[in-house]
């Protein structure tokens, strides 16, 4: 069983640090594309807003916690955004690709604090929850100022925010438990 950190494995595969850095950026971007594909094509017909966040945030928080690149969440979510924009798979929501990009930016911001305070598992879960909850909060403001109706608000505003918080927290906690030996 290989217990070396993924970054040291990448450095052994490539001849210099620049090549490893470029390869890691490429892998992060492709992970974002994979997350968008998984989110789009593994939909379940349930009335739980934010349920796709479990898989998406699992991939996003995994890449952010394992990567040494600052802005890994933004790179990963930009891969998802590019895929959604190129193939128009935003399921009727024209704002979704940009909201996904915003999730990565917020996660990077919160992860920078997480790394400064000693990387507690609970704060990683909180970072995942808050970053995934950016979607319904942003949609609420978009709806208020533009009049666009979002189906997820048909049962009220608090329900989508609560489910997004739950799925984001769960995915980040799973990531933290799975990769704890790599970031400690």
For the chain of 184 residues, list the mean pLDDT of each consecutive stretch of 10: 55 71 91 88 72 86 88 93 80 80 93 84 90 89 78 75 90 88 64
Q: What is the pLDDT of residue 108?
A: 92
Q: What is the pLDDT of residue 16?
A: 76
> 136: Cβ–Cβ under 8 A, 6 or more apart, which residues?
49, 50, 152, 153, 157, 160, 161, 164
Please provide residue 159's backbone torsions phi and psi, each rounded to the nearest 5 degrees: -60, -50
Report the alpha-carbon distance of residue 137 to residue 155 in Å, rounded.
15
Q: Burial letters for 156-183: b for 16+ Cβ neighbours within 10 Å, e otherwise?
A: eeebbbebbbbbbbbbbbbbbeebeeee
Q: What is the pLDDT of residue 126?
A: 92
Q: What is the pLDDT of residue 142?
A: 82
Using alpha carbons, list the distances in angstroms from residue 20 to 61, 176, 183: 21, 24, 19
Q: What is the pLDDT of residue 17?
A: 79
Q: What is the pLDDT of residue 11?
A: 55
Report the alpha-carbon distance of residue 32 to residue 76 in Å, rounded.
4
Report the alpha-carbon distance of residue 87 to residue 1 in Å, rounded.
39
Q: What is the pLDDT of residue 67?
A: 86
């Amino acid at each position: 069983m290989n217990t070396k950190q993924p970054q040291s494995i990448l450095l052994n595969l490539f001849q210099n640090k620049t090549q490893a850095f470029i390869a890691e950026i490429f892998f992060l971007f492709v992970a974002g594309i994979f997350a968008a594909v998984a989110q789009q094509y593994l939909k379940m017909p349930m009335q739980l807003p934010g349920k796709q966040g479990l898989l998406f945030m699992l991939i996003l928080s995994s890449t952010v916690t394992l990567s040494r690149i600052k802005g890994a969440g933004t790179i990963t979510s930009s891969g998802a955004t590019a895929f959604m924009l190129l193939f128009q798979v935003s399921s009727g929501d024209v704002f979704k690709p940009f909201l996904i990009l915003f999730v990565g930016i917020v996660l990077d911001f919160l992860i920078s604090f997480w790394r400064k305070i000693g990387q507690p598992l609970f704060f990683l879960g909180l970072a995942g929850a808050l970053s995934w909850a950016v979607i319904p909060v942003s949609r609420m403001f978009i709806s208020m100022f533009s009049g666009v109706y979002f189906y997820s608000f048909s049962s009220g505003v608090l329900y989508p925010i609560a489910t997004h918080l739950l799925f984001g927290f769960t995915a980040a906690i799973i990531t933290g438990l799975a990769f704890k030996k790599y970031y400690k």
